[in-house]
Each structure stands twice: as C-alpha cells, then as structure tokens.
Structure 1
Amino acid sequence: MLIELNDTDKKILNLIQSDATITNAEIAERIGLSAAPCWRRIKRLEERGIISRRVGILDTKALGLNIIAFANVKLSHVQEDALEEFEAAVTKFDEVTECYTISGSMDFLIRIVTENMQSYEIFLRKKLLRLPMVSEVNTNFAVTQVKYTTAVPLELSS
C-alpha cells in the first residue's frame, strides 16, 4: 500500500537519511516545528514502516575491505526449496551485504565486500560454491566507486 507523504514528512525523512544521529530537537528546528509534533511525525513514520531502522554507515576502505564484488548466481534448479535454502544460506554470510532475485539468465545478484582477492576466493570456494544448489557464479569487481548512497529519492519527476 502506497503511503502518501506530505512536504513536512519528506523534509524529516531527508534529514534522517543524511544523518541518523540528528536529534528530534534539531529536526524540529530545521523544519519549523516544535519538538512534540515533530516527534509524533517521526513515530508515525516508524510505525508505518517508512523508517525501518537507523544505522551507521561504515567506510569499507578504512576497515581494509578493499574488494566490492557483484556476483550473478545461477541455481541448478529453481524450485521453491532451492530458492529458500540459498536465501537462508547467503543471509548468514557476513561478506554478502545485499542479495536480490533477478530476472534474466541468472537467479540472484549478490554484493560481496571483502578484504582482497584472496579473501574473495576463500569466500567463493569455502562458502558460495559449497552450496549444493549453486551451479554457476559470474563475478564483476568494482574498480572505482562513483556513487554510493543509502538515501532513496523522495521527489521524483514524472
């Protein structure tokens, strides 16, 4: 169900998207509301599931995680049990930061973050390729990160 957002809601969401540590008082001041109504709006956005959580975003390079890989994974069979088993397995792999079912000749696209090529190879051999339903993996490695954001667009032109 599509939830209608007014301009005040969008302003709140944009502020929270850019800095999850911003206080209710700071948000209220920036958008021209008093603290109590601002807090109620934020609570309503959380209750509706629009704000699902607030997290810190870590710098992968500063942590020595220099490899970002995008792997297309094909399963040997796509019955529901194989899909569910694969999904359950990859959610347990810390290296996998995103996983999507996709259309086309492959079944999944996963984003993998790791230290170097050797650690990627270990992940591939010891984890991903040991899953019995995996029949093929094609990997692309990011060379340069041009843009990275977790913010979603709230104002789209039609």
Structure 2
Amino acid sequence: MGNSAKLDEIDRRILRELRRDGRLSNLKLAERVGLSATPCWNRVKALEERGVIEGYAVLLNQKALGLPDTVIIEVTLDRHDDDTLERFGAALAELPEVVEAYLLTGEYDYLIKVAVAGTEGYEQFLRHKLYKLPGLRHSRSTFVLRCLKKEPSVQP
C-alpha cells in the first residue's frame, strides 16, 4: 500500500498499540505513544480515513465456540472463467465455517481455512456444504495440529 511510506514512527507506535488492544481509550493510547489527547485522536482518524486502519473487531476463541479444529483445504475448480470463479467465491464467502479464503496461483485455485468440530463436523461441512458449491472439481484437506502463530494483522 502506498500509504505505508507516509507512516512516521508515532503512527507506527499508535498502530502497534491498537493492534495489541483495539479497545484502548484515546487518553490511554495518547499516554502510551507520548502525545496529548487531541493530536492522538487526529492521527487515529487520519489513519482510519487513509485506510491504514480498516476497522476494529473482537477476536473470538473458536474452541470456546465449540469449533476446536482447523482444517486447511486446497480446492481446484473444473473451469477458470470469470463466472465460475465469481460464483464459487461468492458461495464460499457465505459459509460460516470458512474463516479465510484465498484465490491462488499455482496448482490449486483456492486455499480455505475452516473451523469445525472434529472429523464428524468436517465430514458434515464437506458433504453438505463444500461439495455442493458450483464448479468444484477436487479438494485436498489437512487438519491443523497446532497453531504456531496467529496475528490479526501485519506488524507495523
């Protein structure tokens, strides 16, 4: 993003603090980055307006929600025309189990990360959802044993 070149060290400190805790009050954030409240608020607003800060979210624990397992799925479609890619991508985005989905170059067309409850939950996802999506030709699945790193965004 071209905006990254315009970030100074104070902007980066603001982003690092908000990345750690997006619920920080402006007063606490200003204190941590060495600004008074108004200039800090102005900088945060400018970062939001420039699209550097895309939004704020709550991180949910998928295990606590009854979906302790993560499966990575590589998908190949039967065709690669714009209509097939668009229809498959739109249908994929509607599935609540899908946490992340990427259109790829290379051997597979999509890389999908899903949250499920064990092999039984995964079988249900495959049979009743993924295999019913338009254009799917082949998929390959891998269960995640342990997550070694998971960040909500890149480190500024």
- Which TM-score band applies after superposition, normalised by the shorter structure? over 0.9
- Residue equivalent to 1:48: 50
- Residue equivalent to 1:90: 92
Specify the code of the residue in structure 2 equivalent to 1:123.
F
Alpha-carbon distance in structure 1 between the residues aligned to 2:37 and 2:94: 40
> How far apart are residue 151 of structure 1 and its match?
3.1
Which deviations, in whole Å up to 9, do the C-alpha atoms of 1:96-130 show, x marking residues without a partner?
Answer: 01110111111000100112211111111111111
Asked if the contact 1:71–1:111 (Cα under 8 Å) also holds between the matched residues in 2, the reply is yes
Q: How does 1:114-153 map to 2 (within 5 A)?
A: 114-153=116-155
Alpha-carbon distance in structure 2 between the residues aligned to 1:50 and 1:65: 31
Q: Alignment identity in percent?
A: 38
Q: State the TM-score, normalized to the length of structure 2.
A: 0.95
Q: State the TM-score, normalized to the length of structure 1.
A: 0.94
- Unaligned 5+ runs, structure 1: none
> How far apart are residue 132 of structure 1 and its match?
2.8
Alpha-carbon distance in structure 2 between the residues aligned to 1:132 and 1:144: 31
Specify the code of the residue in structure 1 equivalent to 2:14.
I
What's the RMSD between the two structures over aligned residues? 1.0
> How far apart are residue 90 of structure 1 and its match?
0.8
Alpha-carbon distance in structure 2 between the residues aligned to 1:57 and 1:14: 16
Asked if the contact 2:74–2:111 (Cα under 8 Å) also holds between the matched residues in 1, the reply is yes
Q: How does 1:8-27 map to 2 (within 5 A)?
A: 8-27=10-29
Q: Which has the higher helix share?
A: 2
- Residue equivalent to 2:2: 2
Specify the code of the residue in structure 2 equivalent to 1:146.
L
Aligned residues: 154
- Residue equivalent to 2:110: 108
